[in-house]
Amino acid sequence: MKITVLTGSPHEAGTTALLADKFIQGAEEAGHQIYRFDAGQKAVGACIACDCCGQGCEPCVIEDDMAELLPHLLEADLVAFVTPLYYSGMSAQLKTVIDRFYGIDNRLCGSGKKAVLLAACADTGADGWAMDELAAHYKGFTGYLQWEDLGMVMATGCGARSDIENSPFPQQAYELGKRL
Protein backbone atom coordinates (compact mmCIF):
# COMPACT_ATOMS: atom_id res chain seq x y z
CA MET A 1 0.00 0.00 0.00
CA LYS A 2 1.17 3.55 -0.71
CA ILE A 3 0.83 5.82 2.31
CA THR A 4 1.16 9.60 2.35
CA VAL A 5 1.85 11.02 5.80
CA LEU A 6 0.88 14.68 6.24
CA THR A 7 2.33 16.28 9.35
CA GLY A 8 1.24 19.69 10.57
CA SER A 9 3.63 20.70 13.33
CA PRO A 10 6.24 23.42 12.97
CA HIS A 11 8.36 21.47 15.51
CA GLU A 12 10.59 18.96 13.72
CA ALA A 13 11.20 16.93 16.89
CA GLY A 14 7.96 17.54 18.76
CA THR A 15 5.26 15.28 20.10
CA THR A 16 3.54 14.61 16.79
CA ALA A 17 6.87 14.06 15.02
CA LEU A 18 7.35 11.08 17.34
CA LEU A 19 3.86 9.78 16.54
CA ALA A 20 4.57 10.12 12.81
CA ASP A 21 7.96 8.41 13.15
CA LYS A 22 6.49 5.46 15.04
CA PHE A 23 3.52 5.14 12.66
CA ILE A 24 5.91 5.15 9.70
CA GLN A 25 8.17 2.58 11.36
CA GLY A 26 5.25 0.19 11.84
CA ALA A 27 3.91 0.76 8.32
CA GLU A 28 7.33 0.21 6.73
CA GLU A 29 7.81 -2.98 8.72
CA ALA A 30 4.46 -4.14 7.35
CA GLY A 31 5.80 -3.56 3.82
CA HIS A 32 4.09 -0.31 2.90
CA GLN A 33 5.63 2.53 0.86
CA ILE A 34 5.74 5.87 2.68
CA TYR A 35 5.90 9.44 1.48
CA ARG A 36 6.10 12.09 4.22
CA PHE A 37 5.15 15.73 3.73
CA ASP A 38 5.99 17.95 6.69
CA ALA A 39 3.71 20.95 6.11
CA GLY A 40 5.32 22.91 8.94
CA GLN A 41 8.57 22.98 7.00
CA LYS A 42 7.07 23.58 3.55
CA ALA A 43 5.83 26.64 1.71
CA VAL A 44 2.10 26.12 1.21
CA GLY A 45 -0.14 29.07 0.47
CA ALA A 46 -3.76 29.24 1.47
CA CYS A 47 -6.47 28.56 -1.07
CA ILE A 48 -7.73 31.92 -2.37
CA ALA A 49 -11.05 30.55 -3.68
CA CYS A 50 -10.37 31.87 -7.18
CA ASP A 51 -11.84 28.64 -8.64
CA CYS A 52 -9.40 28.74 -11.56
CA CYS A 53 -8.72 25.08 -10.82
CA GLY A 54 -12.35 24.09 -11.29
CA GLN A 55 -11.84 21.58 -8.46
CA GLY A 56 -9.19 19.77 -10.44
CA CYS A 57 -9.94 20.56 -14.06
CA GLU A 58 -6.99 22.98 -14.26
CA PRO A 59 -3.81 23.38 -12.19
CA CYS A 60 -3.90 25.59 -9.11
CA VAL A 61 -2.65 29.12 -9.76
CA ILE A 62 -0.58 29.05 -6.55
CA GLU A 63 2.93 27.81 -7.25
CA ASP A 64 4.36 26.31 -4.07
CA ASP A 65 5.29 23.04 -2.40
CA MET A 66 1.85 21.53 -3.00
CA ALA A 67 3.21 20.62 -6.45
CA GLU A 68 5.58 18.22 -4.66
CA LEU A 69 2.77 16.67 -2.61
CA LEU A 70 0.00 16.28 -5.19
CA PRO A 71 1.33 13.26 -7.14
CA HIS A 72 1.91 11.38 -3.86
CA LEU A 73 -1.49 12.35 -2.53
CA LEU A 74 -3.23 11.15 -5.69
CA GLU A 75 -1.30 7.84 -5.72
CA ALA A 76 -1.83 7.15 -2.02
CA ASP A 77 -4.05 4.34 -0.86
CA LEU A 78 -4.04 5.82 2.64
CA VAL A 79 -3.43 9.32 3.99
CA ALA A 80 -2.23 9.79 7.57
CA PHE A 81 -3.05 13.16 9.13
CA VAL A 82 -0.69 14.04 11.99
CA THR A 83 -1.22 17.23 14.01
CA PRO A 84 -0.87 18.90 17.35
CA LEU A 85 -4.13 20.14 18.83
CA TYR A 86 -4.40 23.93 18.76
CA TYR A 87 -7.53 25.45 20.29
CA SER A 88 -9.66 22.36 19.62
CA GLY A 89 -8.46 21.88 16.06
CA MET A 90 -5.61 20.88 13.81
CA SER A 91 -2.64 23.14 13.16
CA ALA A 92 -2.96 25.88 10.55
CA GLN A 93 -0.16 24.24 8.58
CA LEU A 94 -2.10 21.00 8.13
CA LYS A 95 -5.42 22.78 7.63
CA THR A 96 -3.88 24.85 4.83
CA VAL A 97 -2.82 21.66 3.03
CA ILE A 98 -6.28 20.14 3.45
CA ASP A 99 -7.94 23.33 2.18
CA ARG A 100 -5.83 23.00 -0.95
CA PHE A 101 -7.40 19.58 -1.59
CA TYR A 102 -10.09 21.71 -3.23
CA GLY A 103 -7.81 22.09 -6.25
CA ILE A 104 -8.08 18.35 -6.95
CA ASP A 105 -11.42 17.67 -5.28
CA ASN A 106 -12.82 15.84 -8.30
CA ARG A 107 -9.93 13.36 -8.09
CA LEU A 108 -9.99 12.86 -4.31
CA CYS A 109 -13.71 12.66 -3.57
CA GLY A 110 -14.91 9.08 -3.90
CA SER A 111 -11.39 7.80 -4.64
CA GLY A 112 -11.67 4.98 -2.11
CA LYS A 113 -8.71 6.08 -0.02
CA LYS A 114 -8.30 5.23 3.61
CA ALA A 115 -7.23 7.60 6.39
CA VAL A 116 -5.88 7.71 9.93
CA LEU A 117 -5.48 10.54 12.43
CA LEU A 118 -2.65 10.95 14.92
CA ALA A 119 -2.78 13.92 17.27
CA ALA A 120 -1.26 15.19 20.51
CA CYS A 121 -2.26 17.80 23.05
CA ALA A 122 -1.21 19.01 26.49
CA ASP A 123 -4.68 18.64 28.02
CA THR A 124 -5.08 15.48 30.02
CA GLY A 125 -8.45 14.73 28.49
CA ALA A 126 -9.63 13.38 31.81
CA ASP A 127 -13.23 14.16 31.00
CA GLY A 128 -12.89 13.08 27.38
CA TRP A 129 -13.58 16.35 25.60
CA ALA A 130 -10.09 17.54 24.58
CA MET A 131 -9.99 15.87 21.16
CA ASP A 132 -13.73 15.84 20.36
CA GLU A 133 -13.77 18.75 17.91
CA LEU A 134 -10.65 17.57 16.10
CA ALA A 135 -12.08 14.07 15.74
CA ALA A 136 -15.38 15.48 14.47
CA HIS A 137 -13.59 17.63 11.89
CA TYR A 138 -11.52 14.64 10.71
CA LYS A 139 -14.62 12.47 10.44
CA GLY A 140 -16.42 15.27 8.60
CA PHE A 141 -13.88 15.83 5.84
CA THR A 142 -13.04 12.13 5.42
CA GLY A 143 -16.76 11.43 5.24
CA TYR A 144 -17.18 14.08 2.56
CA LEU A 145 -14.28 12.55 0.62
CA GLN A 146 -15.80 9.09 1.15
CA TRP A 147 -12.54 7.83 2.65
CA GLU A 148 -12.52 4.96 5.15
CA ASP A 149 -11.27 5.78 8.65
CA LEU A 150 -8.85 3.09 9.85
CA GLY A 151 -8.16 4.54 13.27
CA MET A 152 -6.97 7.34 15.49
CA VAL A 153 -4.27 7.82 18.09
CA MET A 154 -5.22 10.71 20.35
CA ALA A 155 -2.31 11.48 22.67
CA THR A 156 -3.65 13.52 25.58
CA GLY A 157 -1.49 14.88 28.38
CA CYS A 158 1.46 15.23 26.01
CA GLY A 159 2.47 18.86 25.87
CA ALA A 160 6.19 18.15 25.59
CA ARG A 161 8.36 15.54 23.90
CA SER A 162 9.27 14.02 27.28
CA ASP A 163 5.56 13.61 28.09
CA ILE A 164 4.84 11.59 24.97
CA GLU A 165 8.06 9.56 25.22
CA ASN A 166 6.83 8.30 28.61
CA SER A 167 3.34 7.42 27.39
CA PRO A 168 1.72 4.50 25.56
CA PHE A 169 0.91 6.67 22.52
CA PRO A 170 4.07 6.10 20.43
CA GLN A 171 3.49 2.35 20.71
CA GLN A 172 -0.14 2.83 19.68
CA ALA A 173 1.01 4.79 16.60
CA TYR A 174 3.49 2.03 15.76
CA GLU A 175 0.83 -0.65 16.11
CA LEU A 176 -1.61 1.32 13.94
CA GLY A 177 0.99 1.50 11.17
CA LYS A 178 1.97 -2.15 11.60
CA ARG A 179 -1.57 -3.53 11.33
CA LEU A 180 -2.49 -1.73 8.10
Using a pLDDT cut of 90, give the percent of the chain over it.
Answer: 91
Quick: pLDDT tens for 54-93.
888 888 999 999 999 999 999 999 999 999 999 889 999 9
Amino acid symbol at 135:
A
CA distance 5 to 19: 11
Quick: pLDDT tens for 137-156.
999 999 999 999 999 999 99
Using a pLDDT cut of 70, give the percent of the chain over it.
Answer: 98
- pTM for the model stands at 0.97
| pLDDT the model gives residue 125 | 65
Domains of the chain plus CATH, in order, are 2-178 (3.40.50.360)
